[in-house]
Structure 1
Amino acid sequence: MAQSFDAMVSIEPNYQNEFNLASLKENQLFISMPFAKQTVLNPEQKKKINEKVLIKLELVYTKYRKASSFNQIKLNESRLIALQKLAPLIFENRFWDFDLISQTNGNSRNECDKMFHGFVLTFRPNSTPNTLDLEANYLENLAVALYQQDSVDADNKNRKYVIKTHYDLKIGYLHDTIWFKDTVKPVPPPDFFYNQTLYKDSTVLNAFDRNTIWKNFIVVTDVTGSMSPYSAQVFVWLKAQAQNKKAAYFVFFNDGDQKESAKKKPLETKGVYVAENKDLETVIKAATKCMRNGSGGGENLENDVEAIIEGLKYYPNADEIILVADNYESMRDYEYFDKIKKPVHVILCGSENRINIQYLNLARQTKGTVHTVKSDVMNLQNIKEGEHLFIDENEYLYQNGKFHAVYSLLDKYK
């Protein structure tokens, strides 16, 4: 569908004297354009864009104008259109933040020609073996803390203990609603994490709490880099339900272990680990093994469908699938989701800006549901051709057999 960039180019810019390219980090890329033009100087850069997860896009220009009739907004819109032609995939699902940067230095065309103009793309950083190990350690330590809490609770049988979510700036991500002096100190999240605010996000626990009717299911969870805050919530939920065995199996996937991107084929990517729900320790061992063996994430594709199919091989009697998915990443094997014959309930992590339409289509096809931090989207199979759907203040259109994101002048980019 055609997209309008009116809202994006109309926001208030951030002003600075001059943008310094030397300040860019390893996970950032700049795309240069000439002063007052929308031409991409190095089109070959598209190869570096399409395999990564974009989290922020900034358009940099100079405030100076030679002619009073010059229309900067129109030029900015033309530059976005040029970027869209270069890398259409990043505009298919807009989850990234957007900013305008207006440089106030430069008082002539000659001065401005020497300054940077174009786009700065910030990607989600790839994890390293070290950071993956730290995230796995975090999950293992969380399990220890949960078992220690059992001992505390056993000594205080008359006290009510309900696991919810809470975030304390001094301590970190906490899992209880009622506080006692003898409560076990919660495990702090890894301090290297690129976005610490994710540890405040209670999407998974909220979704499980709102949907207690799910039963006899398989939990399928993405554990590539960046997903440890959500994996932690899966384990907290599992521990809270004690002897309740609604979840029969757990499946963890990392998109191919250490396999190179070029060698990853749909439904044959591997990196899928399955654990029967015998106890928390067994499940966490499978998750952390999967995490440590992973390639680290940072790519924009994952093997969700392959993981679901693999789980059903172990437990074909499941009534439904709970997929804990990374909203920022699409499915490598998306075209094969018609092979799934069980309802898939998708818990989307990181869907604050907008929902990845692939997961809406997956849920509709399987007669499942989609869940965000505050919404439950039901009966998607009843949506008819041409109907509009609003989820968390964002609009979607079902057209030509699939969902599309609808962008309007009301969109917020900051």
Structure 2
Amino acid sequence: MRAFLLLLFVFLTLGAAPARAQQPTPTRVIEALYDQLSAYQLRRYQPDSGYQLLTLPSTFSGPELAALRLRERQLVRVDLVYSAYRFDPKFSQRQLNIDRLRNLDERLPGLLMDPSITWNLIEQTGCTTPDECQQYFHGFVLYIEKRYTKADTKAEIGRLTARLNATEKKIERIRAVRKSPGKPLACGYPHVEDKLRKLTKRIKKAYDCTQKDRRPRTVTFQAEVSRQGKVLNVRLPAVDSAGAAAPPCPEELTGAIAEGLAFTDGFLLGKQRLPFTVTGRLSLPLRPQQGFKVTGYYLADSLMRKYRVKLLRDGCQARQLRPGDATEEDPIPNPDPNVVTRVLERHPDWQKQTVVADVTGSMYPYTADLLIWLQLAAAGPEKTFVFFNDGDDLPDKQKRLGQTGGLYDARTNDYGRIRQRVIEAMGAGGGGDAPENDCEALLRAHQLAPEAQDIILVADNHTFPRDTKLLEGTRLPVKIILCGVTDHINPKYLALARRYGYSLHTLDTDLTNLSELPDNQITIIEGVRYQTTPGGFRRVSGRAE
């Protein structure tokens, strides 16, 4: 705890300085930093995919380091890789690692304190002799995020547009097929056995209760009819559409309707006659010219769905579906679902009305996934969107906390308008340095839609926002969809979610209770062990001392 407080003090005192300070970091700070790093074991180190990689052996020289031109690159992660094997039992791997970090920091002052870089200690356990260990890599593995140029951005917009256009054409073809699935099926309404004038007379003869109460009223009814056309039972509503009570002698009236009403056969569907429901109305007192009328015919809901029956004024329509046939009402699946689609479909409970998305260069596949999901989703009510590109290509040194810009918002349910705003945001900037202005965008979304029950943030696991200080004192209902997760979740996002009560979502996992975890608890997330610390999370398995 003391080491952590010391580290926190140093971060605060250096917070106003440039990310890469000019003075080497004090030894006590390096030691405090070392004790907070993610540290875990592997049999033999294999770098993660999705990055450009540079390696620096543990015995690196000044010229070797200079040749990497690290100050010109977007360095997002550094792994210090070593082996667990010790020839001398008194040997201190911890001290050697601290010396290696100090050596690197002296040649690149401020590198260790750059908040945009994630540091890991990785101990290899697969070698057990000096000869074997010589075949293993020992040193620093540097993970570089691509810096996107105007040409890169233009090319990605072209790929995005082509992909969206191809998907739109495919969706339109699917919708055209679904408008008339299957083959037509014979469909016909039943016929009343007698003319309505004669039927009215018969019902009037059986129902004379209106002799006692001749107030005009309209009565609706519903009857269940067998496949042979025989009325099985009749029901009257307790209260009619005008709010009036049931007519006098309701049992006598239902009996008169059941006795007087009959059909020549059942409801025709294909080659079979089926039982059905009929609705109608009577005007009391009954008059032969306008006393009785049939208002509708209906099949069981299961049959209506199975045969896609449509009840029209001038007749009905039905279709015989083949196994696997989809209809116009069925949702069209995303042809190439990625993490955004998977998470959104997994959470129908979310109010998906406010979306904040990183549209910088590295996020192209997930931007496409979001747009395709929006295209396939029902239009529904208007949604609030904030797309951000980290400053419209503003030079990195001019970016100010909370004022970086590059935010493109829209409140609409028009897919074409949403797509246009995404392309505008992408075209205006590729992102610059690796950290983005996610939190500035979150606050803009909250300002535009303060009533939002959920704010969905589409974020990049490879990098981390530079502006999390903006969230201090806020309690936003944020759901983070984390893109680019390969072998593990960035511990900084776990720490962010834990501190502010956010939920984190990957392709297969939903993390909703991170804020409830106590300090120093080991938890396994997607097969990876993490330990909670006063500052958040660190990846662990074993540590060399």
The TM-score normalised by the length of structure 2 is 0.53
Distance in 1, Cα, partners of 2:379 & 2:46? 55
Change (3 A) 1:217 1:390: farther
Q: For residue 386 of structure 2, what is the amino acid of its counterpart?
A: V
- Cα root mean square deviation, aligned: 4.2
The separation in 1 between residues aligned to 2:533 and 2:373, in whole angstroms, is: 37
Q: How does 1:11-160 map to 2 (within 5 A)?
A: 11=44, 31=56, 34=59, 48=70, 52-54=74-76, 78=96, 82-83=100-101, 86=105, 87-88=111-112, 93=118, 119=140, 121-157=142-178, 158=181, 159-160=325-326
2:381 aligned with 1:348: no
Q: Is 2:285 the partner of 1:267?
A: no
> How far apart in 2 are the matches of 1:240 and 1:307?
25
Deviation string 1:84-137 (CA, Å, 9 cap, x unpaired) is 76343599635899999xxxxxxxxxxxxxxx9965635122122112112122
Q: Which residue of 1 aligns with 2:467?
A: 333
Q: Tell me, in whole angstroms, the C-alpha distance in 2 between the residues paired with 1:279 and 1:95.
A: 45
For structure 1, which runs of at least 5 residues remain unmatched after alignment? 15-26, 61-68, 101-115, 166-173, 177-201
Matched to 1:139, the amino acid is L
Structure 2 letter corresponding to 1:321: I
Identity of aligned residues (%): 26
Q: Secondary structure at the match of 1:252?
A: strand
TM-score normalised per structure 1? 0.68
**Residues 219 and 251 of structure 1 are in contact (CA less than 8 Å); yes or no, is this contact kept in structure 2?**
yes
1:231 to 364, 367, 380: 367
Shift of the 389–97 alpha-carbon distance from structure 1 to 2, 3 Å rule, reads: closer
Change (3 A) 1:175 1:406: closer
Q: Give yes or no for the alignment of 1:372 onto 2:506.
A: yes
- Partner residue, 1:240: 376
Find the aligned partners of 2:504 and 2:138 in 1 and give their Cα distance: 40
Q: How far 1:291 moved relative to its partner?
A: 0.9
For 2:96 and 2:116, how far apart are their aligned partners in 1?
15
Paired letter, 2:364: S
Distance in 1 (alpha carbons) for counterparts of 2:466 and 2:426: 18
1:175 corresponds to 2:336: yes
Is 1:276 matched with 2:436?
A: no
Q: What is the rounded CA distance, in whole Å, between the counterparts of 2:516 and 2:38 in structure 1?
A: 29
Q: Indicate the residue corresponding to 1:23 in structure 2.
A: none
The CA distance in 2 between the partners of 1:124 and 1:208, in whole Å, is 27
Q: Determine if contact 2:145/2:434 at 8 Å carries over to the other structure.
A: no
Alpha-carbon displacement from aligned partner over 1:60-95 (angstroms, at most 9, x marks no partner): 9xxxxxxxx799x98899468614763435996358
* Equivalent-residue separation in structure 2 for 1:235 and 1:204 (angstroms): 10
Aligned letter for 1:230? Answer: Y
Change over 3 Å in CA distance of 1:94–1:350 after alignment to 2: farther
Partner of 1:7: 41
2:392 touches 2:428 (CA, 8 Å); kept in 1?
yes
Structure 1 counterpart of 2:212 = none
Contact 1:175 1:236 in 2 (8 A): no
Shift of 1:238: 0.9
Cα 1:98/1:286, change in 2 over 3 Å: farther
The more displaced of 336-345 and 370-379 is: 336-345
Q: Counterparts of 2:519 and 2:79 in 1: how far apart (Å)?
A: 33
State the distance in 1 between where 2:520 and 2:455 align. Answer: 28
Partner of 1:386: 520
1:253 aligns with 2:388: yes
Contact 1:249 1:275 in 2 (8 A): yes
Deviations along 1:326-353, whole A, 9 cap, x unmatched?
0111111112223543211001111223
* Deviations, residues 226-247 of structure 1 (Å, cap 9, x unaligned): 10100111111111212234x7
Q: Secondary structure at the match of 1:123?
A: strand
Q: Deviations over 1:143-173 (max 9, x none)?
A: 33343234313321224265445xxxxxxxx
Shift of 1:276: 1.6
Q: Is contact 1:163-1:175 (8 Å) kept?
A: no
